[in-house]
Structure 1
């Protein structure tokens, strides 16, 4: 009898050990419906416990740096969807300053359009020397998703722009690449991951093309024909223009352009950018033994010679789809995101690891 009971107990313990432990996530943000659907698709349910969870999703990314300091961590296996120092990456003036200080101004200009920080006296002395009334300049405020942008060539407007909340003035790329009459940029999805003070970066092979609302014209100062608008783009544009990067690849092939060479240039820019920012990232000691990661939207413009330039990093990029193709792309990005943190097993992960090095 005792032998039978012992065998039963052993079987129960064995079966329990073979039963997968259901994973959970913690968040206070009810609006993250898109991420919620992907998580629950993979049987990752929401946890009501403040410290018992596998994945922590911040309430939002505007104040994520402060929230990271308050997260209750129970063990080193817990994963946090946010990295300390992310504000350094997305700050337009800080990003340019980091790149120019790391690589020198000349090389930084090959990564981003030449930029001048409005409250930096040395930058503005150089700008006044470089200023050309026949050129166009872009003023930018510390806002994301194409907000807080003003196009001008008026020196007095630029000189007083910091009083109106602008942080940088940037050279406008005059020979932007055009498809069917519209200037464009591409949104690239980038992940920065941290563990034990080590920074790794990933870039997804998919993304989306974003176009100007109006077709290009002779008015160099017109906003709608020179600045792409992610939230205002007429969906009819995509009937004839590429939406996804796969469609852009096909378009390049038709034009006999080398897409792989073009995308490798983008990978190089993102690698150098993350390498330069790495010393400022992931310095929060209380989370140093936990995997922390964050998804960024990198906006890339390129000229008629297919030379790409980084415009900005967006933290917490908009993942709300605008079309079925866009939905499939973004769902793939989110699933691959869970894959690179080993929260799920997925094949053919579209994220590619970048070469991040000490500088």
Structure 2
């Protein structure tokens, strides 16, 4: 259990049978994680954890468990699990880019270049080793540029390095692909070579990126929710492009930053998105920031559309994605990657409380208790942004659909009065008193 655990008491009593509590059917859950989600599940009214060999209604599993077990289990109508079977189509770096390139190509074919340009939000990327020769051609066309190499299926900054010389990558290629153990191409680990964003937006001289949460409850039809809260993750070292070997300068992952000798988790390593949005508005004006956040919304929608015909849509599944977005100095947002298992481990008390609320609201949207009607446009901190088509705010001008006039039902970095909203939306459990 987390050291930041709240003092909130459980709202139910066990009757000893593990089936009914206070006259209401119990939700039996299984959880393979030891982090904030464990706390949330244990303090959920009328939910009870089961052992490995017992039946469950809800399973918060890791992707390894899913890969080994999904095709071998029977799930009843009411059962829910927190990953889609082939989630990796969006969350593996090489497959994400492959799907985005295909989607962009189809847009250009069907609607022309202006529509396809709406997908110009990911850096020039090549999958290695399969696209190595294409990468070399592009590299030689832009001498002196900085590139970044990333393992396609790893996270937390593992295996990442920056380079400017082709010799650096040819030496790496020789070491990585030509060992005795990897003569069989099937055993060669996939990487992506990506053009590095050389002009990141800096705050106090430090690089940062945004971690934003998107919840998908269906791919066919596509139904996606955007969480209002999130955070900006700062590097521990002031940015200088001339130095490319300092991972604490270039990689904002907390798992990387906390290895810095002078790392202090309480020292402005994270800003809540509300704080960042206020800062950017004060510096650049409301109109500029509104445009920026509309472009970020576009990244979410387009990236999901790029895989919605590829992902195996199973009615039992949902997915909480962690999007990593980087801003350049022109306030253009770039999609860096999408995480299927965003870290739920807190780095501070404030971080724990934010993630606790996020996970509570994820369970509220998934609605194992059957308290929603299915027509809601907001549940706690989640706003419905796509439901088989764009979702608009209640005050949107539906007569005009130009990009400068319509308003999507998204409130990223805005006030999150979730407790008030939930008290009006959700019917209390039978044994709970109305506030």
> Is TM (by shorter chain) over 0.5?
yes
Which of 322, 332, 338 in structure 2 is aligned with 1:307?
Answer: 332
When residues 49 and 318 of structure 1 are mapped into structure 2, their CA distance, relative to the original with a 3 A threshold, is closer
1:254 aligns with: 282
2:69 aligns with: 67
CA distance in 2, matches of 1:357, 1:101: 21
CA distance in 2, matches of 1:242, 1:52: 40
Contact 1:188–1:298 (8 Å) recurs in 2 = yes
- Give per-residue Cα distances to partners, 1:254-310, cap 9 Å, x unaligned: 314434432221121011001111122125xxxx3x331122211111101211111
User: Which shows bigger deviation, 341-350 or 223-232?
Assistant: 341-350
Which of 148, 158, 168 in structure 2 is aligned with 1:147?
Answer: 158
Which of 138, 144, 158 in structure 2 is aligned with 1:134?
Answer: 144
Scaled by the length of structure 1, the TM-score of the pair is 0.82
- Residue 243 of structure 1: CA displacement? 1.5
Q: Are 1:265 and 2:291 counterparts? A: no
- Give per-residue Cα distances to partners, 1:192-234, cap 9 Å, x unaligned: 2237x43322221211111122111252413322222322256
Which of 266, 272, 281 in structure 2 is aligned with 1:244?
Answer: 272
Q: Runs in 1 of length 4+ with deviation above 6 angstroms?
A: none
Matches within 5 A, 1:277-288: 277-283=307-313, 288=314
Q: Are 1:194 and 2:218 counterparts? A: yes
2:92 aligns with: 91
1:355 aligns with: 386
SS of the aligned residue for 2:24 comes to: coil
- Give per-residue Cα distances to partners, 1:116-149, cap 9 Å, x unaligned: 122334x733641453231100011121122221
Contact 1:242–1:248 (8 Å) recurs in 2 = no
Scaled by the length of structure 2, the TM-score of the pair is 0.69
Alignment coverage as a number of residue pairs? 332
Gaps of 5+ in 2: 1-19, 109-115, 177-188, 373-377, 390-435
When residues 118 and 108 of structure 1 are mapped into structure 2, their CA distance, relative to the original with a 3 A threshold, is farther
- Residue 52 of structure 1: CA displacement? 3.8
1:6 aligns with: none
Q: Are 1:20 and 2:24 counterparts? A: yes
SS of the aligned residue for 1:354 comes to: strand
CA distance in 2, matches of 1:200, 1:50: 33
Contact 1:207–1:244 (8 Å) recurs in 2 = yes
SS of the aligned residue for 1:213 comes to: strand
CA distance in 2, matches of 1:242, 1:292: 31
2:239 aligns with: 216
* Higher helix fraction (1 or 2): 1
Contact 2:29–2:49 (8 Å) recurs in 1 = yes
SS of the aligned residue for 2:120 comes to: helix
1:10 aligns with: none
CA RMSD of aligned residues (A): 2.9
When residues 241 and 211 of structure 1 are mapped into structure 2, their CA distance, relative to the original with a 3 A threshold, is closer
CA distance in 2, matches of 1:65, 1:49: 17
Gaps of 5+ in 1: 1-15
Contact 1:145–1:314 (8 Å) recurs in 2 = no
